Structure 1
Amino acid sequence: MSSLRKQVAVIKVRKMEDGASERFNIARENIQRIIELALKEIATDPDCVGLRYSVGEQTTVYYIKTNQDNFGRVLGSGGRTINCLRHLVTAIAGRHGFRAILQVENEDQFY
């Protein structure tokens, strides 16, 4: 007699509190302001650095737009600067209960 194993899928559902969406939006805007301020201080030409974000189903992605001259400054030595900014974004987003990623737009064109 063969034994049949039941496979059970567990789906976790998190109920959003009232006003959570608004809190997420405020946190996203605050993250954008913080990163923009840091980028403008890092860049040699602050007008050539921009930031936008898109909200996905589970993740908010922040995109840094920069030119060739500021690309090296944004990345930093060994990627230290961009990694620091990524940790900051992740920490703030995690504190508010959502996931966020920081990417450089068209990064491959600079290599």
Structure 2
Amino acid sequence: MLIEELVSNIAKALVDNPDDVQVNVVEGEQTTVVELRVDPDDLGKVIGKQGRTARAIRTLLGTAGTKDNKRVLLEILE
């Protein structure tokens, strides 16, 4: 899965505990939900100041989703 690998690679590059990164993709008809779990200590690194990092990842996913005419949502879970 391209989207799963994309989110996993980005998250692992940002965090201090890359082994704790988990990505789960839930596919729907028109929407794909990407659930990202990281170590609680790394949560701030994935979200970024004022949510900038999370917004950038969401922008990339939105662009990747246009290829399949799907909306891609990112949920960052604790």
The runs of at least 4 consecutive aligned structure 1 residues that moved more than 3 Å come to none
Q: For residue 55 of structure 1, what is the aligned residue in structure 2? A: 27
Q: Structure 1 regions of 5+ residues with no counterpart? A: 1-28, 107-111
Which amino acid in the other structure matches residue 58 of structure 2? R
- Are 1:68 and 2:40 matched, yes or no? yes
> Deviations for 1:14-72, whole angstroms, at most 9, x for unmatched residues?
xxxxxxxxxxxxxxx11111111110000111011111110123211000011210100
Name the CA distance, whole Å, in 2 between partners of 1:70 and 1:48.
9
Alignment of 1:4-83 (within 5 A): 29-83=1-55
Q: How far off is 1:96 after superposition?
A: 2.5
Q: How far off is 1:95 after superposition?
A: 2.5
Alignment of 1:83-98 (within 5 A): 83-98=55-70
Aligned-partner SS, 1:36: helix
Name the CA distance, whole Å, in 1 between partners of 2:17 and 2:77.
17
Aligned-partner SS, 1:61: strand
Name the CA distance, whole Å, in 2 between partners of 1:87 and 1:55.
18
Which amino acid in the other structure matches residue 36 of structure 1? S
Which amino acid in the other structure matches residue 105 of structure 1? L
Name the CA distance, whole Å, in 1 between partners of 2:54 and 2:25.
16
* Higher relative contact order, chain-length normalized (CA < 8 Å, sep 6+): 2
Q: Supply the RMSD in Å over aligned alpha carbons.
A: 1.1
Q: For residue 12 of structure 1, what is the aligned residue in structure 2? A: none
> Of Structure 1 and Structure 2, which has the larger fraction of its residues in strand?
2
Name the CA distance, whole Å, in 2 between partners of 1:75 and 1:40.
13
Which amino acid in the other structure matches residue 31 of structure 2? T
Q: Structure 2 regions of 5+ residues with no counterpart? A: none
Q: Give the total of aligned pairs.
A: 78
In our comparison, the structure showing a higher alpha carbon Rg is 1
